[in-house]
Amino acid sequence: MMKKFFLRIICIYIIVSYAFIPYIYADDIDVSEEFSFDSLQVSSALASDLSINSRAYVVIDRNTNSIVLEKNSNQKRKMASTTKIMTAIVVIEHRDLSETVTISKKSANTGGSRLGLKTGDKVSVRDLLYGLMLKSGNDAAVALAEYVGGSIEGFANLMNSKANELGLKNTHFETPHGLDSDNHYTTAYELALLSNYAMNNKTFSTIVGTKSCTIFINGYSKAINNTNELLGNLSGVYGIKTGFTNGANRCLVSACKRGNLDLICVVLGADTKKFRTTDSIKLLEYSFNNFKLIDVGKLAEEKFTNWKKEYEQHLFIDKGISKTISIDMKNFEHPIIPIHKEKGSSLCVEIECDKNFIAPIHANQVIGLINIKCDNQIIASSNIFVTKEILKKDIWNYLNEFFSNYISYFENFVQL
């Protein structure tokens, strides 16, 4: 009787354990309802209330890294499998993709979403990267981390070193796969910056832009599909990565380009796969419908040219050999930026510059500032600088000036 009782307890434990494993260890294993693209219609009429479910999001312009839309974009959050963006770029920058990796027992036993690797399997770095980014294989992540960094910890050091190099101050990595950990976090904005950097790598962008492919494990082919539901379904989307854990909820990073506007959209902490999809679509559609690229550099140059003609008439240079000063403006780092269509008329150029100088004045010395404002907020700035050095007068200059003035006075006196 006791044996039957204990057997029942063991069976119940096994059933319950297997039932909850996906929820405890899952990454990109999402049991929420599948999303139908035909069921969603997004228009610019939703501009005043996008009703975004995600806890944090950001849309940035790829050319300038400027924020188009955001909510809690600097809030530290778990990132799930979007971690693999950093994993992939570190591997690509450190290893030849044709090299072969032998799968360890630790890698083969990694839980969550899997490529299906077994101990002793032999796979190329390239195929592991496809398994990492398309299938979101945690086993592939560990295999690559061990191969490149020697261990999970060693690879995490490489990831954090890269984060520091990119200036990501609120990002920290502990694993190559992104399973929940208190010291493994990023922000929506910094994840967007990392994604933008990674997408500039041709190998990386090719991988994350692949809908499906065939890889080889031990020489045998295996077909895999991309977990990114927007890829191939939303106009202009060409990457990049999904993510899901209990701690992070549903996450999605998307790259989308239409015309000249190229955007990265990050949503973190959505309740369901459907929400992360609809949130991303709403944010992207609103951005493309309501923002346009404006050449603020050209606007500033026109204003500066007209201002300079008037400005030069009111200069005073004390103790300088020259009475005139040659100035110019620095080119804007990002002269073309996205501006909301309704705010384009509020753009203005403000110029602040010194008018009184004491020599010497050095070449390239900054003497003023040009600010581009939109709704009274500075959106771009450039320096005004001196192009040629103006030396300070010495005793010989003063003597020469004195005698020149004396001779001129004497000549005028004689003529009288």
Tens-digit pLDDT profile for residues 342-391? 888 889 999 999 888 888 989 999 999 999 999 889 999 999 999 988 88
Domain end, chosen from 271, 304, 338, is at 271
Q: Average of pLDDT values for 285-312?
A: 92
Task: Tell me how many degrees the CA angle 394-399-404 measures, rounded to the nearest 5.
Answer: 125
For residue 36, is it within any domain?
no
Query: What is the per-residue pLDDT for 195?
Result: 98
Q: Does 199 lie in the same domain as 98?
A: yes
For residue 216, is it within any domain?
yes
3-state secondary structure at position 212: strand
- From the list 54, 113, 136, 195, the catalytic residue is 136
Q: Average of pLDDT values for 273-287?
A: 96
Cα separation, 394 vs 312, in Å, equals 25
Look up residue 34 and give its DSSP letter: P
Look up residue 392 and give its DSSP letter: B
Domain end, chosen from 271, 306, 325, is at 271
Cβ proximity of 212 and 83 under 8 Å:
no
81 catalytic? Reply is: yes
Q: Global pTM? A: 0.84
Q: Does 233 lie in the same domain as 113?
A: yes
Closest alpha carbon to 64 in 335, 279, 300, 358: 335
Look up residue 390 and give its DSSP letter: B
Q: Does 309 lie in the same domain as 344?
A: yes
Confidence of residue 179 (pLDDT cuts 50, 70, 90): very high
Q: Which helix (H) or strand (E) holds 305?
A: helix 296-311
Query: What is the per-residue pLDDT for 20?
Result: 40
For residue 44, is it within any domain?
no
309-329 burial: b if 16+ Cβ within 10 Å, else e: eebeeeeebeebeeeebebeb
Cα separation, 164 vs 90, in Å, equals 13
Q: Does 70 lie in the same domain as 116?
A: yes
Q: Average of pLDDT values for 17-33?
A: 47
Q: Does 250 lie in the same domain as 128?
A: yes
Structure-token pair, residue 155: 């690879």
Residue 150 phi/psi, 5-degree rounding, is: 85, -25
3-state secondary structure at position 157: helix
Task: Tell me how many degrees the CA angle 138-142-146 measures, rounded to the nearest 5.
Answer: 170
Q: Does 306 lie in the same domain as 259?
A: no
Say how many C-beta atoms besides its own lie within 10 A of residue 249's C-beta. 22
The more confident residue out of 127 and 1 is 127
pLDDT per residue as tens digits for the range 55-91:
999 999 999 999 999 999 999 999 999 999 999 999 9
Cβ proximity of 82 and 178 under 8 Å:
yes
pLDDT per residue as tens digits for the range 210-228:
999 999 999 999 999 999 9
Cβ proximity of 199 and 80 under 8 Å:
no
Cα separation, 21 vs 213, in Å, equals 28
The more confident residue out of 124 and 48 is 124
Cα separation, 315 vs 312, in Å, equals 6
- From the list 84, 241, 273, 274, the catalytic residue is 84
Look up residue 156 and give its DSSP letter: H
Cα separation, 190 vs 199, in Å, equals 14
Cα separation, 33 vs 44, in Å, equals 26
Q: Is the pLDDT of residue 17 over 50?
A: no
Structure-token pair, residue 47: 């501009």
Taking all residues of the chain, what is their mean pLDDT, rounded to a whole number? Answer: 87
Query: What is the per-residue pLDDT for 46?
Result: 43
Q: Is the pLDDT of residue 24 over 90?
A: no
Confidence of residue 9 (pLDDT cuts 50, 70, 90): low
Q: Which domain holds residue 59?
A: 50-271
Task: Tell me how many degrees the CA angle 209-212-213 measures, rounded to the nearest 5.
Answer: 105
Q: What is the CATH number of the domain that holds 141?
A: 3.40.710.10
- 69 DSSP β-pair partners: 59
pLDDT per residue as tens digits for the range 98-153:
999 999 999 999 999 999 999 999 999 999 999 999 999 999 999 999 999 999 99
Q: Average of pLDDT values for 156-162?
A: 98
The more confident residue out of 358 and 190 is 190
Q: Is the pLDDT of residue 21 over 50?
A: no
- From the list 54, 73, 81, 113, the catalytic residue is 81
Q: What is the CATH number of the domain that holds 333?
A: 2.60.410.10
Q: Does 321 lie in the same domain as 249?
A: no
Q: Is the pLDDT of residue 2 over 60?
A: no
Question: How far does CA 122 lie from the centroid of its chain?
Answer: 34
For residue 180, is it within any domain?
yes
> How many domains is the chain partitioned into structurally?
2
Q: Does 75 lie in the same domain as 123?
A: yes
351-366 burial: b if 16+ Cβ within 10 Å, else e: bebeeebebebeeebe
Look-up of token digits 């539901």: 229
Cα separation, 195 vs 189, in Å, equals 10
Radius of gyration of the chain (CA): 30
84 catalytic? Reply is: yes
Query: What is the per-residue pLDDT for 11?
Result: 52
pLDDT per residue as tens digits for the range 225-266:
999 999 999 999 999 999 999 999 999 999 999 999 999 999
- 352 DSSP β-pair partners: 369
Confidence of residue 321 (pLDDT cuts 50, 70, 90): confident
Q: Which helix (H) or strand (E) holds 193?
A: helix 188-199
Structure-token pair, residue 237: 């989307």
For residue 262, is it within any domain?
yes
For residue 386, is it within any domain?
yes
Q: Does 315 lie in the same domain as 184?
A: no
Q: Does 146 lie in the same domain as 74?
A: yes
- Burial (CB < 10 A; 0-12, 13-18, 19+), residue 160, is middle
Q: Does 202 lie in the same domain as 143?
A: yes
Q: Which helix (H) or strand (E) holds 410?
A: helix 395-415
For residue 4, is it within any domain?
no
Q: Does 329 lie in the same domain as 235?
A: no
Q: Average of pLDDT values for 183-195?
A: 98
For residue 251, is it within any domain?
yes
Q: Where are the beta strands (DSSP E) in 259-343?
A: 261-270, 291-295, 316-318, 327-329, 336-340
